[in-house]
Amino acid sequence: MSETLQSASRSQAFNPYLPSWEYIPDGEPYVFGDRVYVYGSHDYYNGYVFCMGDYVCWSAPIDHLGDWRYEGVIYPKDADPFNKDRKMCLYAPDVTMGPDGRYYLYYVLDKVSVVSVAVCDTPAGKYEFYGYVHYSDGTRLGERAGDEPQFDPGVLTEEGKTYLYTGFCPRGDRTRSGAMVTVLDADMLTVVESPRIIVPGCEHSEGTGYEGHEYFEAASIRMVGEKYYFIYSSIVMHELCYAVSDKPDRGFAYGGVIVSNCDLHIDSYKPADHPMAYGGNNHGSIVMINKEWYIFYHRHTNGTWYSRQGCAEKIELLPDGRIMQAEMTSCGLNGGPLAGEGEYGAYLACNLFTDTPSVYVGDDRFPKIMQDGRDGDENPGYVGNMKDSATVGFKYFDCKHVTAVSIKTRGYAEGCFEVRTKWDGDALASIPIHNTNVWEEYRAPVTLEDGVHAIYLTYRGGGNASLLSFTLTAGDKCTGK
């Protein structure tokens, strides 16, 4: 079953874009040569804190975004002199190419407030510790009197200088001012311009235009044409916002929300204030691949904050520079809807909810994306803890002559799964299920109009079900099991 679902993922591109058993949040995507590389932190399945693993890298050909390759561990936790005992976690990193053509990895450990740097000759080789960002007198950035703690570095290199963006601004802490930019010399370490605030935190935002979407964490920077786009996670955490300027170190104005990992604000298929997934903190950035722009972000699994997976959506940049908010889908990097037939893993769900709305993850009443085994076991993901009214949604499929829907479930549950093409639409079919401790397949006839559809599966009944996959069958007749 695992091999079937994973091999299918190579012919199409899905969300999450990596295998169902991999947990790489905080994704910073870059195109180097003919491949797109994603650098992020490394969560564990069933982890108890953020970012427990070593840095690993994945890449894909720019013309085949469903074929991701594991590049291996590019930087272990104990490579940093401050962390030889591996007791600290590697928080979200970023990568930039220096003036010397080498690749520089910037990161912050979880218990110190300085920025570490590693270097490599290739995008995804073995990075070696290089040094700490410091002032000309050797004092490390973050340790000089008056410095704010460093966190979540984002980096941009141009004309021999590197712009380093950092900051963490929780609610209630007036000592944290906002997102900072610090300019570094060509050696990639020495500060030549001290930190400057470019986007305010929530304690310093009155009258700035950022109210309600102030900087929280997850600094990232990209250049689009002649403009600089600063991407960040706002104080509500589930959304990635952007600010725009003509200069890399000042003049940023709030632009809007690029993506929310609970789809808040989206009103195209449901009310704008209605959450359609269990959100939490967010981190990512934008990248152009084959002349199309995408936003990379992450979602939460296992009903906790600590097992996050990377997702991506196509975005639209308008001629006036605005970015339209992207809708969460199951087909993010695919370039269009998925094929309207065949078997799809339930872990591809982009919508997950019950009759009780919740913006944030972490309530045992709600369904959750899970896996069997321990972290690293290459077992297919599934949706568990499905109690009465639990709904999983998948978007979108190009359906032609669909005549049946099959599901694979297990668990001590007696009820049925209702099939819809709208989250609040009429049930088009009902698939009865029964108590079982192994995966069983159930099938029911259904008629879908030809066209692009979402698929929603809602459990109604007693007990607690798990959903492994569903199959769309086109062009034949069947009867229910």
Distance of alpha carbon 57 from alpha carbon 481, whole angstroms: 44
Total Cβ atoms within 10 A of residue 15: 25
In a 10 Å sphere around its CB, with 0-12 CB exposed, 13-18 middle and 19+ buried, how is residue 288 labelled? middle
Q: How far apart are CA 100 and CA 109, in angstroms?
A: 26
- Candidates 452, 459, 464; CA nearest to 431 is 459
Strands 338-339 and 391-399 turn out to be: parallel
SS3 for 147-210 is CCCCCCCEEEEECCEEEEEECCCCCCCCCCCEEEEEEECCCCCEEEEEEEEEEECHHHCCCCCC
As beta bridge partners, residue 131 has 117
Distance CA 91, CA 110 (A): 6
Task: Tell me what percent of the chain is helix, strand and coil, each rounded to the nearest 5.
Answer: 5, 45, 50
Residues forming the active site: 26, 217
Q: Which two tokens stand for residue 318?
A: 């308008």
Q: What is the dihedral of CA 237, 240, 246, 248, to 10 degrees?
A: 60
Beta bridge partners, 217, equal: 233
C-alpha torsion 60→66→67→70, nearest 10: 60
